[in-house]
């Protein structure tokens, strides 16, 4: 026998030996004992719903119902609880966050999955206790830049509740009602009572008689009245059109699941994924064992997609994972939750879908059109129709996904880029958030006619700024210093623009430029390749950079006077982006610090969880997946009709691998980028061959 043949025989024998040990069902085999121990652990010591005891030495780290942590000392007017005074927040919003109906898209071609996945993660790791006192915000109807009518006369605002024991002799803190861990809380909830309602089976306080499956009537999230008494269902937030029919709200692990139809569809997607995994498991397992295995895998999938697709797509690079570190406190910081993880400027003003022309019945088409969905023949395929769903139609409209289709809706989120993460927010969020338009006007959807359609103002940008003051956030410069960044000394250092002075422009009122509506005019628009876009062209062209009549720096200077007085959220939003990312230096530093802590301080993180490897070997269920695969497995959209990486628009897919992870569950990426000098720069693109940020602010 030759040497090669002998080696082949030996290799085969070793392989057979391993197979015998692996499949040995004897109670004395190592594999059997290990599996038995793992199953017992899953049943008797599962990852807690509220995050408690994740860290054995510090069992309250990351636990729901406790105060956020802080990176910097709280900043209150009286040192304890009073909100710091500053310029009126609606006035700031009208001058800084007003997009003047012009859409500017992600310079890195991050798709709408960027903001949607961020929201899904946000609704997993953080939710402030909202039950604080009313503190409505002033509304100045005489502001020269005010376009909207507000018959209420104020913008409704309530402070976050003070964490018990704070705000009187010690600075006021705020409570995170969710676990800080990325643990699919949005799917399963933080309490046994909510989870029992969400599982198939009786609701009697005894989870042992529940099915492994989540309750999904007709494969969609259950309505509040799915078990008969809607009042007995877990609390769900309702607003807008859902206020008139709260029983039709869909119930999920997080109370905000109905906030928009795309979010509802995402929550449904991962509930379906849970049930799909249950169906892959053998009948020899108990219902509780199957439930806990499926939950463990769904949690790992959410983590894996976050660290291997989402964060790389938006440009957050973390050091290589070195394993669980029990000395790292992952508790969500107040600064990250209140300032850094907002991202509201990324939210697109609508969703465009393309489906087969015969997908909807005449009755469905009529229903969708009555809600504000606009249909037209597809320009690319005569057998398809294109539909545009304005953002306002998505708000608190859970049944929309049933009619439109979960597959088409989730597919559409991965086609067009999201809006640029800058200091401009769509008016559907910035002025009429969750509002219902006046009756008998079907055109009240978006665009320049929007102000004529509403009688009230709810401004998300204004709320974001005031929330920072409510939570005692330090100023922009103080927050930069807290995160290890140098303080800025000029407004142009913030924005990367050439000047913080208003131009000598005949279209502007000398000495009152900050109150002149013409100050927000767009003078030049450019596409992805830098070509000038004609705003009057009938051809649809995406805009990736723009020049306005006045710089953001000039408007900031006129509003605040000193860089040391700028609100943290405002300054962060106005920063020039670090090349190859969606963020300025402060926001990038906040994301990098928090997501590294959430990874390194989680005992159940996928890279540290041996049970996940055993599940993969024993049952063939693998958490290492990408979001496109999850969508294809659980909807009617084939995998080849989705982008390889749904977080990047099609032109960029090939340049950003969707699975940079390794078999041991780690992410091998370089260290976070250093702070820039924030002066105008020339960029040749990064390692993903992405375009560069324009540094043009608004």
Handedness of CA 56, 62, 63, 67 (dihedral sign): positive
For 289-300, give one letter per residue: b (16+ CB within 10 A) or e.
Answer: bbbbbbbbbbbb
Bigger pLDDT: 537 vs 188: 188
* Predicted confidence (pLDDT) at residue 668 exceeds the cutoff of 60: no
Tokens representing 642 are 């989705």
pLDDT at 426 (0 to 100): 86
Residue 379 binned pLDDT confidence (cut-offs 50, 70, 90): confident
| Gap between the Cα atoms of 512 and 205, Å rounded | 65
Determine how many CB atoms are found less than 10 A away from the CB of residue 465.
28
* Inter-residue contact 491 to 561 (CB < 8 Å): no
C-alpha dist (Å) from residue 49 to 128, 166, 178, 348, 666: 17, 26, 9, 32, 25
pLDDT, one tens digit per residue, over 173-216 is: 999 999 999 999 999 999 999 999 999 999 999 999 999 999 99
Report whether pLDDT(648) > 70: yes
- The DSSP H or E segment spanning 154 is strand 154-155
Q: Output 528-537 pairs: Cβ under 8 A, ≥24 positions apart.
A: 528/109, 528/651, 528/691
390-399 residue pLDDT tens: 888 999 999 9
212 token code pair: 């492994």
Does residue 579 surpass a pLDDT of 50?
A: yes
pLDDT tens track for 315-356:
999 999 999 999 999 999 999 999 999 989 899 888 999 999
**Between 569 and 17, where is the model more confident?**
569
Q: Is the predicted pLDDT of residue 298 greater than 80, yes or no?
A: yes
Predicted pLDDT at 166: 98
Residues 404-412 have a mean pLDDT of: 97
For the stretch 132-136, contacts whose Cβ atoms lie closer than 8 Å and that sit 24 or more positions apart, written own/partner, are: 132/158, 132/159, 132/160, 132/161, 132/162, 132/470, 133/158, 133/159, 134/158, 134/159, 135/83, 135/159, 135/470
- The rounded Cα 186 to chain-centroid distance in angstroms is 12
pLDDT in tens, 207-266: 999 999 999 999 999 999 999 999 999 999 999 889 999 999 999 999 999 999 999 999
- Among 356-370, 541-555, 567-581, 659-673, the minimum mean pLDDT is found in 659-673
Spatial contact of 87 and 555, defined as CB atoms under 8 Å apart: no
pLDDT at 538: 67
Q: What confidence tens digit (pLDDT) does each residue in 144-181 have?
A: 999 988 888 999 999 999 999 999 999 999 999 999 99
Q: What is the dihedral of CA 568, 570, 571, 573, to 10 degrees?
A: 110
What is the average per-residue pLDDT within 683-689?
A: 29
In three-state form (DSSP H/G/I as H, E/B as E, the rest C), the secondary structure along 115-140 is: HHHHHHHHHHHCCECCCCCECCEECC
- Asked if the model's pLDDT at residue 294 lies above 80, the reply is yes
DSSP run (H or E) holding 390: strand 384-390
Block residue for tokens 């000398």: 510
Q: Are the CB atoms for 470 and 560 separated by under 8 Å? A: no
Of the chain, the percentage scoring pLDDT greater than 90 comes to: 75
pTM: 0.89
Closest by alpha carbon to 422, among 472, 477, 461, 479?
461
Least confident of 58-72, 301-315, 418-432: 418-432
How far is Cα of residue 209 from the mean position of the Cα atoms in its chain?
35
pLDDT at 675: 34
When pLDDT is averaged across residues 261-272 and rounded to a whole number, the result is 98
- Name the token pair of 667: 């992410």
What is the reported pLDDT for 435? 66
409-to-261, 280, 389, 542, 653 alpha-carbon distances in Å: 9, 26, 10, 21, 20
Query: What pLDDT is stored for residue 370 in this prediction?
Result: 86
Average pLDDT over residues 49-54: 97
Q: pLDDT higher for 538 or 460? A: 460
pLDDT of residue 3: 44
Percent of the chain with pLDDT over 70: 86
For 616, 621, 639, 654, 680, the CA distances from 309, given in Å and listed in that order, are 21, 20, 17, 13, 29
pLDDT reading at 20 higher than 70: no
């Amino acid at each position: 026998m030759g040497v090669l043949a002998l080696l082949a025989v030996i290799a085969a024998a070793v392989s057979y030996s391993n197979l015998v040990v692996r499949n040995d069902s004897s109670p004395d085999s190592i594999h059997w004992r290990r599996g038995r121990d793992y199953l017992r652990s899953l049943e008797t010591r599962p990852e807690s719903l509220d995050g408690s005891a994740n860290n054995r030495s510090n069992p309250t780290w990351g636990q729901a119902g406790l105060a956020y942590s802080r990176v910097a000392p709280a900043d209150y007017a009286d040192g304890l609880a009073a909100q710091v005074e500053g310029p009126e927040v609606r006035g700031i919003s009208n001058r800084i966050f007003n997009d003047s109906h012009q859409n500017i898209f992600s310079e890195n071609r991050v798709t709408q999955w960027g903001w949607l996945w961020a929201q899904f993660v946000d609704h997993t790791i953080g939710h402030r206790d909202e039950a604080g006192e009313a503190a409505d915000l002033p509304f100045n109807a005489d502001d020269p830049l005010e376009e909207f009518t507000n018959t209420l006369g104020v913008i409704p605002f309530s402070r976050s509740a003070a964490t018990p024991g704070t705000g009187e002799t010690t600075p006021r803190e705020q409570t995170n009602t969710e676990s800080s861990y990325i643990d699919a809380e949005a799917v399963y909830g933080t309490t046994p009572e909510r989870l029992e309602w969400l599982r198939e089976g009786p609701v009697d306080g005894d989870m042992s008689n529940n099915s492994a499956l989540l309750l999904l009537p007709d494969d969609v999230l259950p309505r509040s009245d799915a078990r008969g008494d809607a009042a007995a269902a877990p609390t769900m937030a309702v607003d807008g059109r859902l206020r008139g029919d709260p029983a039709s709200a869909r119930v999920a692990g997080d109370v905000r699941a109905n906030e928009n139809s795309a979010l509802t569809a995402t929550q449904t997607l991962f509930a379906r994924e849970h049930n799909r995994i249950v169906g892959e498991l053998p009948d020899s397992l108990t219902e509780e064992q199957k439930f806990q295995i499926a939950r463990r895998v769904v949690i790992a999938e959410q983590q894996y997609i976050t660290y291997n697709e989402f964060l790389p797509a938006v440009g957050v690079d973390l050091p290589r994972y070195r394993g669980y570190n029990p000395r790292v406190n992952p508790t969500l910081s107040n600064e990250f939750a209140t300032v850094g993880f907002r991202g509201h400027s990324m939210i697109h003003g609508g969703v465009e879908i393309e489906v087969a022309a015969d997908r909807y019945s005449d009755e469905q088409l009529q229903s969708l059109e009555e809600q504000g969905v606009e249909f037209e023949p597809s320009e690319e395929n005569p057998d398809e129709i294109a539909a545009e769903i304005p953002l306002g139609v998505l708000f608190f409209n859970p049944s929309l996904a049933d009619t439109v289709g979960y597959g088409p809706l989730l597919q559409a989120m991965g086609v067009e880029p999201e809006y640029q993460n800058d200091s401009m927010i769509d008016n559907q969020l910035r002025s009429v958030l969750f509002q219902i338009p006046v009756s008998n006007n079907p055109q009240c959807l978006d665009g320049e006619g929007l102000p004529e359609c509403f009688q009230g103002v709810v401004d998300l940008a204004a709320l974001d700024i005031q929330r920072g003051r409510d939570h005692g956030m330090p100023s922009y410069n103080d927050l930069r210093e807290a995160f290890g960044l140098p303080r800025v000394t000029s407004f142009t250092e913030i924005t990367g623009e050439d000047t913080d002075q208003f131009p000598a422009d005949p279209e502007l009122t000398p000495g009152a430029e900050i109150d002149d509506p013409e100050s927000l005019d767009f003078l030049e628009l450019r596409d992805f390749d830098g070509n000038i876009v004609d705003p009057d062209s009938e051809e649809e062209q995406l805009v990736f950079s723009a020049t306005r009549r006045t710089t953001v720096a000039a408007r900031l200077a006129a509003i605040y006077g000193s860089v040391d007085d700028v609100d943290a959220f405002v300054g962060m939003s106005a920063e020039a982006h670090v090349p190859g990312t969606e963020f300025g230096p402060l926001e990038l530093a906040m994301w990098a610090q928090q997501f590294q802590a959430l990874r390194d301080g989680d005992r159940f993180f996928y890279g540290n969880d041996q049970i996940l490897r055993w599940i993969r070997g024993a049952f063939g269920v693998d958490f290492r997946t990408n979001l496109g695969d999850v969508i294809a497995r659980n909807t009617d959209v084939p995998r080849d009709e989705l982008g390889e990486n749904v977080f990047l628009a099609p032109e960029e897919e090939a340049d950003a691998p969707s699975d940079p992870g390794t078999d041991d569950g780690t992410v091998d990426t370089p260290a976070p980028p250093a702070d820039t000098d924030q002066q105008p720069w020339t960029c040749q693109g990064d390692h993903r061959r992405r375009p560069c940020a324009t540094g043009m602010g608004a």
